[in-house]
């Protein structure tokens, strides 16, 4: 199964607008019991989330909001806690080298269930400038106009 395929739970739509994604990595998530139940119920928000590698060489996902599980009572989790990402050592070492370059960030793109396990697709992205974003919007609008013209003519 290629990267990023499984039962899609949530997608960070703003990531492709704000970043030029150069490479992607599939990572597992270390979750508490009620978190996976909330993820399966699609109660996840990835809007302002980001990934970072700490000084110990471990990758963490920050600011991803997983809503508390309704039947979780006192066993519920903190919604925006940092969650550890499960990556191979070679991948982490490569990401450390890449993110030390100016302008590169680790951006979560998707969260999905694959073989009963929650996975996150992490993208290595370079931040776009304002003029790059405007150019992308122009291209997108032009493609939409062309598709509309073709559809109306046939």
The 10s digit of each residue's pLDDT in 103-151 is: 888 999 999 999 989 999 999 988 888 877 888 888 889 999 999 888 8
**Can you give the CATH number for the domain in which 79 is found?**
2.40.280.10
Distances (CA, A) of 18 to 14, 27, 45: 6, 21, 17
Question: In this structure, is residue 146 part of a structural domain?
Answer: no
Over 60: is that where the pLDDT of 96 sits?
yes
Look at residue 133 in the predicted model and tell me its pLDDT: 81
Asked if the structure places residue 95 within a domain, the reply is yes
Q: Kindly state the tokens that stand for 116.
A: 């009963």
150 found inside a domain? no
Strand-pairing partners, residue 43, are none
pLDDT over 80 at 5, yes or no? no
Residue 31: closest CA among 106, 84, 87: 84
Label residue 32 exposed, middle or buried (CB < 10 Å: 0-12, 13-18, 19+): middle
Residue 48 in any domain: the answer is: yes
* Residue 143 maps to a domain: no
Residue 1 pLDDT more than 70? no
Considering the domain boundaries, does residue 41 fall inside one?
A: yes
Task: Count how many residues are written for the chain.
Answer: 154
Instruction: Give the per-residue pLDDT at 2.
Output: 58
Residue 26's pLDDT is 94
Its domain, for residue 78, covers 7-128
Residue 18 confidence (pLDDT):
84
> What are the two backbone dihedrals, phi and then psi, of residue 21, each rounded to the nearest 5 degrees?
-80, 120
Residue 101 confidence (pLDDT) above 90: no
Q: What is the pLDDT of residues 21-77, one digit of tens each?
A: 999 999 999 988 888 888 999 999 998 899 999 888 899 999 999 888 877 777 787
* Count: domains in the chain: 1
Residue 85: inside a domain: yes
| 154 within a domain of the structure (yes/no) | no
């Amino acid at each position: 199964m290629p990267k990023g395929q499984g039962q899609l739970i949530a997608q960070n739509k703003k990531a492709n607008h704000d970043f030029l994604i150069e490479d992607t990595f599939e990572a597992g998530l270390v979750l508490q019991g009620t978190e996976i139940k909330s993820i399966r119920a699609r109660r996840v928000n990835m809007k302002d989330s980001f990934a970072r590698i700490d000084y110990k060489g471990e990758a963490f996902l920050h600011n991803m909001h997983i809503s508390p599980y309704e039947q979780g009572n006192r066993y519920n989790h903190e919604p925006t806690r940092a969650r550890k990402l499960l990556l191979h050592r070679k991948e982490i070492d490569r990401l450390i080298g890449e993110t030390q370059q100016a302008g590169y960030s680790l951006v979560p793109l998707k969260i999905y269930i694959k073989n009963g396990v929650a996975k996150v697709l992490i993208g290595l992205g370079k931040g776009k400038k304002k003029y790059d974003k405007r150019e992308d919007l122009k291209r997108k609008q032009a493609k939409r106009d062309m598709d509309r013209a073709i559809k109306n003519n046939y």
